């Protein structure tokens, strides 16, 4: 681990790292849009996201070294709660590192994939929209202002709607998928901003730390309770919380491969972060209404997602749709951990949040490689690909086994932590459901692996085709990261433990 932020960047950069992480990719977006050649737009995208990753690493180190346990950055020199504050602690520094790391691998991977699926004239605009989406996600994770979070949430969402719709060049069904996404996303954003309005009416502030200080005196206030309910539902839609997830399967199935991979690894994760931030930092675990919602709303929804969507995944014939339903099920695992309401439970949920991002990113990258080099994404199209595309399918198999939770994989680490936290809390029946749904994952992942390695191709066996290097390198980086976390996950587990501890010790305040 880096010992000092000064080993990475100059001191001035380190001071402004919270802002630079958002500002640099935001400034790169219009520049990319003006580029006449898609390759230049792609290079600008890589540069912007790489700078964000460096700033994210700087923030992880700076938070670790901070005596307060957090970093407060005041926009324009206006002191909070009157000005907009970027507040970075162990929780959102971990999320920023995840988003920027996955974002860079996605951007590198995108060149071959985007070039094959997007009209040449729109490639620069595509990367511009991607940078806007990336900026919004980073802003959601970095800001300490509730309304500013809404603004960044909408920035990322609007760009995402465009990115999903661009899949119509390959499949016209991307257009209704994008419209459905717009409708559900708008409902979610409307619920969230109405909830924030209720909180402002009750407290007179939008700063999250200031809200956290004032809300304990208003625990029985019906306006605050209404605000909590609206925020819970709004962020639940954005996070694809069951049964508010109906926008997700089609969006993941018909989007450009690059978009599916990036959204699956980051978008719902950032929305879950925002939900956790409001649950534990703004309202606090002692908020009566919240305590009931964790036990009687979040936990049942998590369990229902794990069971229902795992069963739905089993019966899908399109691999992308199968993985999309799996994503909703995995969101259920994360929310189940959060619903325990203990440091161990939240830590297990956050660990699975990171692990699932890496796992699902690798899986969708592998599917993109199949679409790019071979044929379609139906289960029958995967028959015999173990011989035709051994590198791609081996990486897919590693990530698939991790999704199941096989020992020595990232998925095992987080599921073991989740089961341990459930048993410590006396929820043995929920632990049984975790094990049961992991066996369901064996079925739907096993269906793919059986077709890949144990079935003959439908058509005549053809010569092996070469996977582009810019697809293979990030794919294997994700797959090997999944294996590394499974074998020696101390770094990621430490990030998750620190993030959870900050929520229960008040460091995030």
Chain mean pLDDT for the chain: 88
User: Has residue 195 got a pLDDT over 70?
Assistant: yes
Question: CB within 8 A of 317, min separation 6: which ones?
Answer: 378, 379, 380
Residues 245-269 have a mean pLDDT of 89
CA separation for the pair 498, 100 (Å, rounded): 19
User: Has residue 110 got a pLDDT over 90?
Assistant: no
166: nearest Cα among 41, 263, 257, 245: 257
CA distances from 434 to 143, 150, 192, 302, 358 (A): 34, 33, 30, 10, 20
Question: CB within 8 A of 78, min separation 6: which ones?
Answer: 84
Tokens of 238: 């954005």
Q: Poorest-confidence range of 230-239, 350-359, 478-487, 499-508?
A: 499-508
**Peptide bond preceding 190 in cis form (omega within 30 of 0):** no
Residue 1 pLDDT: 46
Ramachandran assignment for 260, one of left (phi > 0), alpha (psi -120 to 50 degrees), beta (any other):
alpha
Contact 89, 70 (CB under 8 A): yes
Secondary structure of 245-306 in HEC code, one letter for each residue: CCCHHHHHHHCCHHHHHHHHHHHHHHHHHHHHHHHHHHHCCCCHHHHHHHHHHHHHHHHHHH
Residue 313 pLDDT: 93
Residue 285 neighbours by CB distance under 10 Å? 15
pLDDT tens per residue across span 33-72: 998 877 898 999 999 999 999 999 999 988 888 888 888 8
Contact 168, 177 (CB under 8 A): no
CA distances from 6 to 10, 11, 192 (A): 6, 6, 39
Residues 214-242 have a mean pLDDT of 90
Q: Which range has highest mean pLDDT (70-79, 118-127, 443-452)?
A: 443-452
CA separation for the pair 486, 234 (Å, rounded): 34
User: Has residue 214 got a pLDDT over 50?
Assistant: yes
Secondary structure of 451-500 in HEC code, one letter for each residue: HHHHCCCCCCCCCCCCCCHHHHHHHHHHHHHHHHHHHCCHHHHHHHHHHH
Percent of the chain with pLDDT over 70: 94
CA separation for the pair 452, 60 (Å, rounded): 40
CA separation for the pair 470, 475 (Å, rounded): 9
Residue 455 neighbours by CB distance under 10 Å? 15
Question: Roughly what angle, to the nearest 10 degrees, separates helices 146-165 and 174-203?
Answer: 170
pLDDT band at 465 (very low <50, low <70, confident <90, very high): low
Question: CB within 8 A of 7, min separation 6: which ones?
Answer: none
> What is the pTM for the complete model shown?
0.93
CA distances from 100 to 30, 108, 184, 365 (A): 19, 12, 26, 17
pLDDT band at 291 (very low <50, low <70, confident <90, very high): low
User: Has residue 330 got a pLDDT over 60?
Assistant: yes
Residues 244-269 have a mean pLDDT of 89
User: Has residue 11 got a pLDDT over 80?
Assistant: no
User: Has residue 176 got a pLDDT over 50?
Assistant: yes
Domain map (residue ranges) of the chain: 289-509
Number of helices followed by number of strands (H, E) in the chain: 21, 2
Question: Roughly what angle, to the nearest 10 degrees, separates helices 343-373 and 319-339?
Answer: 170
Residues 284-308 have a mean pLDDT of 82
Nearest-10 Cα torsion for 503, 229, 248, 349: 20
283 against 373, higher pLDDT? 283
Residue 463 pLDDT: 47
Residue 74 pLDDT: 86
CA separation for the pair 136, 140 (Å, rounded): 6
CA separation for the pair 100, 97 (Å, rounded): 5
Residue 7 pLDDT: 58
Percent of the chain with pLDDT over 90: 59
User: Has residue 382 got a pLDDT over 90?
Assistant: no
359 against 74, higher pLDDT? 359
CA separation for the pair 273, 265 (Å, rounded): 13
150 against 505, higher pLDDT? 150
Residue 509 pLDDT: 42
466 against 350, higher pLDDT? 350
Residues 12-23 have a mean pLDDT of 84
Question: CB within 8 A of 479, min separation 6: which ones?
Answer: 362, 395, 396, 398, 399
CA separation for the pair 44, 27 (Å, rounded): 10
Residues 221-240 have a mean pLDDT of 91
3-class SS at 407?
coil
Question: CB within 8 A of 333, min separation 6: which ones?
Answer: 302, 306, 349, 352, 356, 414, 415, 418, 434
Residue 507 pLDDT: 43
Contact 331, 239 (CB under 8 A): yes
User: Has residue 430 got a pLDDT over 70?
Assistant: yes
* DSSP character at residue 75: G
């Amino acid at each position: 681990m880096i010992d000092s932020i000064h080993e990475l960047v100059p001191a001035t950069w380190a001071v402004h790292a919270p802002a630079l992480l958002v500002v640099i990719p935001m400034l790169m977006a219009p520049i990319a849009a003006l580029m006449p050649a898609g390759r230049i737009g792609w290079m600008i995208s890589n540069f912007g996201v790489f700078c964000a990753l460096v700033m994210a690493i700087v923030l992880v180190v700076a938070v670790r070294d901070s005596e307060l346990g957090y970093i407060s950055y005041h926009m324009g020199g206006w002191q909070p709660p009157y000005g907009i504050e970027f507040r970075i602690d162990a929780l959102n520094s971990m999320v920023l590192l995840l988003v920027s790391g996955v974002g860079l691998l996605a951007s590198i991977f995108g060149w071959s994939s985007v070039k094959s699926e997007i009209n040449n004239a729109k490639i620069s605009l595509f990367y511009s929209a991607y940078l806007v989406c990336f900026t919004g996600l980073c802003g959601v994770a970095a800001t300490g202002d509730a309304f500013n979070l809404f603004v960044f949430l909408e920035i990322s969402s609007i760009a995402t709607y465009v990115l999903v719709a661009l899949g119509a060049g390959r499949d016209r069904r991307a257009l209704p998928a994008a419209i459905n996404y717009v409708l559900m996303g708008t409902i979610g954003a409307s619920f969230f901003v109405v909830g924030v309005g209720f909180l402002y009416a009750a407290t007179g502030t939008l700063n999250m730390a200031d809200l956290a200080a004032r809300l304990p005196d208003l625990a029985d206030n019906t306006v605050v309770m209404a605000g909590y309910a609206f925020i819970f539902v709004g962020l639940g839609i954005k996070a694809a919380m069951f049964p508010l997830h109906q926008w997700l399967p089609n969006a993941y199935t018909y989007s450009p491969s690059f978009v599916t991979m990036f959204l699956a690894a980051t978008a719902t994760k950032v929305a879950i972060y925002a939900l956790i931030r409001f649950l534990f930092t703004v309202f606090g675990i002692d908020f009566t209404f919240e305590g009931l919602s964790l036990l009687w709303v979040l936990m049942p929804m998590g369990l229902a997602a794990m069971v229902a969507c795992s069963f739905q995944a089993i019966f899908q014939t399109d691999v992308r749709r199968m993985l999309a339903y799996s994503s909703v099920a995995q969101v259920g695992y994360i929310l189940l951990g959060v619903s325990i309401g203990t440091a161990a439970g939240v830590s297990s949920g956050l660990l699975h949040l990171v692990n699932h991002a890496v796992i699902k990113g690798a899986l969708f990258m592998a599917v993109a490689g199949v679409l790019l080099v071979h044929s379609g994404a139906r289960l029958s199209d995967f028959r015999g690909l173990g011989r035709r595309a051994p590198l791609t399918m081996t990486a897919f198999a590693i990530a698939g086994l991790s999704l199941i939770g096989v020992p020595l994989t990232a998925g095992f680490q987080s599921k073991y932590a989740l089961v341990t936290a459930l048993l410590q809390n006396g929820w043995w029946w929920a632990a049984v459901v975790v094990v049961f749904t992991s066996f369901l994952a064996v079925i739907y992942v096993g269906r793919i692996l059986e077709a890949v390695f144990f079935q003959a191709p439908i058509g005549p066996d053809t010569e092996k085709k070469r996977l582009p290097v810019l697809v293979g390198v990030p794919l294997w980086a994700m797959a090997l990261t999944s294996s590394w976390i499974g074998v020696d996950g101390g770094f990621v587990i430490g990030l998750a433990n620190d993030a959870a501890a900050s929520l229960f010790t008040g460091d995030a305040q």
